[in-house]
Each structure stands twice: as C-alpha cells, then as structure tokens.
Structure 1
Amino acid sequence: MTLSKPLSLRPGVKADVPEAAMVLAAGMGRRMRPLTATRPKPLITVRGRALIDYALENLARAGVKRAVVNTHYLADQVEAHVKRRDHGLDISLSDERAELLETGGGCKKALPLIGADTFYVMNSDNIVVDGPMDTLRLLAERWDPGIMDALLLLVPLARATGYSGNGDFRMSGTGALLRQSGTRLAPFIYSGTQIVKRELFEDTPDGPFSFNLIWDRLIESGRLYGMAHLGGWYHVGTPAAITATETLLASE
C-alpha cells in the first residue's frame, strides 16, 4: 500500500483494524470547571452520553476487541462507569492515581495491558463523527507500517469545531507531517485519534511526557503521517462548548 493512492470510500471496505486501543481519560479537566469539581471530564455528558462513551463505542463499532482506559482524577468514578456499561469491548484500567503521566507517559505505563504491537490511541474529550466511511477503519486502511510509525487523524483547521488555537501540522501530498513554523496558522489540528507502534516508547522517559516528544522524533525521521478526517469533529473543552456541540450534533 502506498500513500499516493486515493482513499477508498466503497461500503464494506476491509481493513486490518488494530485489536487494541488506549483511551486517555486521566486529565484534570480544569477548563471544564465548575462541572469537573465533582465529576471527571470523561463523564461529562453531551446529548445524554458521557464523552468517554463516544470514544469507546466508536472503537467497538470499528471492530476493536479490547481497550485500556487510564485514570487519575476522580478515578473511582471512571472505573465504575466503564465497568457498569457494556461497550462491547474488553476494558482494562491503568491506574495513575499516584502520578499523572501525561499522554505519552500514560500510554507507556499501560503497554503491558494493551498487549499489542500496533494500537489506536484516543482522547476521551473529542467527539468524532464518521464521514462516508467508518473513520477508524479508514485510518486502519491508510496505515502503512513500512513507511510510518504513527498515523494521526487530522481535522482541517476551518472545520475544527470548538478549537481556538493556531493549528498543529502541515501535511505533504504523501501525508507526511511537519510542524508549522513561524506565526502562520497550521492547516490541520490533531484530532485526538492516532495509530501508533509499541516500539515508539523505547528510549522514552519513565515518568510523565507528552506525545509531542515522540512526534518530533518521527518528524525528524520522516515517519510521522496524517490523514484528513472526512466527517464531523467536536472538541468539548469548556462548559460553553457542551451546548454548542449538542446543537450541532442534533443537525448531523
């Protein structure tokens, strides 16, 4: 498979979907206060569903078999929620009560539970709505381990609902990613969903670190790639964003 081929939009396309996923749910949710004073951000509800349920249900629908959810802030509530609901996944919990490990460190700690050489990583505070195809299956179809070590689902800045930053990446015609330099806006933002290789966590800190450390290394080696999302995407980062997101989702 090469990245120069067009994306297939045929119904029923078969892809080698990774069997495992990491769902990041350990953050403090400070920008969501006061709602997160007594409830962790992954359990904030949008249209009657907890944010984390959107991620877990997308994974199950794509054919993922098991997921690891990390916990830190109000961890007992997250643990009780994922155990109480049937998401169609074998769910394990990675306990970060002692120390919040950030995105990269949290994944590294969870590797023994993930138990796969290639897996999805998803944030629990973004809602991904499929376009013409199942987004996670399309990402798996695009995955080419011969030339990439991480494949990021990207959202065009102009369609990044709820996002207020300057963007994250620019993307070449082959899908290779670079950081945007200077003060110009980057055309794409990271959606909170990616496929990664387990080996990326070798030679990384044992404590807290961000995925940015891994991504910057991959940019230097030319092995960080992206795919533009064809559907809807909503970042639910503040209380005000909840109502706005609910209105937009109702029109999807």
Structure 2
Amino acid sequence: MAAPACPAMVLAAGRGERMRPLTDTTPKPLLQVGAEPLIGWHLRRLAAAGVRRVVVNHAHLGAQIEARLGDGAAWGVQLAYSAEPSALETAGGIATALPLLGEGPFMVVNGDVYTDYPFARLLARAPQLDADGVLAHLVLVANPEHNPKGDFALDADGRVHDAPGLTFSGIGVYHPALFTDTPAHAPAKLAPLLRAAMARGQVSGECWDGQWLDVGTPARLDDARALAAGA
C-alpha cells in the first residue's frame, strides 16, 4: 500500500502592504483571480496532486479566510488553520504550525504566488529527504524583473547554495528538523535557516520553467488574472 501523501501548508498571514488598498478590507489570499480566490488555485492543484491535509496560517483579516474556505471540502482538501495574532514571518509561522503538520516532511507554498507547478513532484520528493540527508528541497525559477539578481544558486548535483542565480519560488518541501531551534509563537525568518542548511550541504533544489508569478502588486494581480483566463 502506498504511503499517504505528505501534508501541505499554505502561507497566508501576510498583510499585503503593496497590494493596498485592496488588502485593507480583503486578505490577499482571497483576492479573486478568475474563477477562484488566489489561494483556491493552490488548494485545487494540491488536491489534484493527491494532497488531502492542508494547513493555512493567517493573521490579517484571518476570520475572512476561515469563513471563505471553511473545512476545505469545496476544494477537495481537509483544512486546518494556524491563527497568528500578528504575522510571525515564514519560519515562525511554520514552527507554530508544526503540531498540525505531523512528524514527517511537509510541503509549503506561499499563498501569494500563482503557478501551475505540478505539486505531485514534491510529493514524490518528500520521502527522499531523509535518505538524501537534506532538510529542504526548494523550487527555483528564472529571475523576474523585480528580483533580477535572484536568491540562490543551483549546482549540477542538485544542491542549492547561498549565491546569486535563481529566484526562490516560495514552494518547497521541508523536514521538521529544519525548525528544531525555531520557537513557536515568535517571529522568525526562513532565509537564515535555509542559508545555514545550505552551508552544511543540506538543501537540494530544482528549477521550474513553467508558469510562476509573485502576485505582490495590483499590476501583478492583473497579470495573474490574465494567466487564469487562459488556464
């Protein structure tokens, strides 16, 4: 019998400052993109890949997120929520949600990107983390105009290094051990944890050349809506 698919977490706690005034009354993950709220595209694609349990963290206008998404049945997933009084940054939010994610590897997706990345690839990658001695596997993309130098480099052996090269997509699979020293309920950034793991050779990666868009501004929201119209 096949092992159950690992859970996923969608990060949805950001304030969305660059998207104001739209996000003054609507949390960014609920902004409409075609037939779905932005986060709905993730939920449907995660479900299609075989993911059943999804954790969503939230802070700004979080009650709207829970009211809109409910238990997740409309998207084919089982949702659990990790509420934050104020946004805890990425690592802090993940560390706080760990009790909902279980003891094995889990996927994480930024709630404010639009992508057709096939999440089944990460499901296949997750069980290999322990065997490969890595704590994180990152999906990297070509550098967009707003991040021309990129974030990290990917070598020929599939290891990720702290050097300019490609842009981190906000999509990855992580082992809980990456967050061993990160306290719950306290702000903490993900990048320092990843860089420390990179220095130990414990981060692998891949490059995705399909659709990917950081929906961080009203102009890019329009771009996402145009992509969704052609989906």
TM value normalised by structure 2: 0.90
The one-letter code sitting in structure 2 at the alignment partner of 1:237 is G
Cα deviation for residue 127 of structure 1 reads 1.0
Does 1:92 find its partner at 2:70? Answer: no
User: Which residue matches 2:116?
Assistant: 129
Cα distance in 2 between the residues matched to 1:96 and 1:82: 17
Moved over 6 A (4+): none
Cα deviation for residue 54 of structure 1 reads 1.2
Cα deviation for residue 84 of structure 1 reads 6.8
Cα distance in 2 between the residues matched to 1:34 and 1:177: 37
Does 1:213 find its partner at 2:197? Answer: no
2:177 to 185, 199, 210: 199
User: Which residue matches 1:171?
Assistant: 154
1:150 to 136, 139, 151: 136
Contact 2:114–2:224 (CA under 8 A) maintained in structure 1: no
Q: Give the number of aligned pairs.
A: 225
2:65 to 69, 73, 78: 78
Cα distance in 2 between the residues matched to 1:229 and 1:218: 22
Q: 1:70 to 1:246 in 2, by over 3 A?
A: same
Q: 1:45 to 1:17 in 2, by over 3 A?
A: farther
User: Which residue matches 2:121?
Assistant: 138
Structure 1: runs of 5 or more not aligned: 1-14, 181-185
Cα distance in 1 between the residues matched to 2:228 and 2:220: 12
Deviations 1:125-161 (A, max 9, x none): 101114xxxx21123334532222100111122xx4x
Q: Compute the RMSD of aligned alpha carbons.
A: 2.0
Cα distance in 1 between the residues matched to 2:112 and 2:154: 24
User: Which residue matches 2:201?
Assistant: 222
Contact 2:6–2:104 (CA under 8 A) maintained in structure 1: no
Secondary structure, counterpart of 1:117 in structure 2: coil
Cα distance in 2 between the residues matched to 1:213 and 1:64: 28
The one-letter code sitting in structure 1 at the alignment partner of 2:141 is V
Contact 1:57–1:87 (CA under 8 A) maintained in structure 2: yes
Secondary structure, counterpart of 1:187 in structure 2: strand
Q: 1:82 to 1:165 in 2, by over 3 A?
A: farther
The one-letter code sitting in structure 1 at the alignment partner of 2:158 is G
Q: 1:53 to 1:248 in 2, by over 3 A?
A: closer
Cα distance in 1 between the residues matched to 2:3 and 2:32: 32
Contact 2:96–2:183 (CA under 8 A) maintained in structure 1: no
Cα deviation for residue 216 of structure 1 reads 1.1
User: Which residue matches 1:243?
Assistant: 222
2:50 to 58, 63, 66: 63
Structure 2: runs of 5 or more not aligned: none
Cα distance in 2 between the residues matched to 1:101 and 1:19: 23
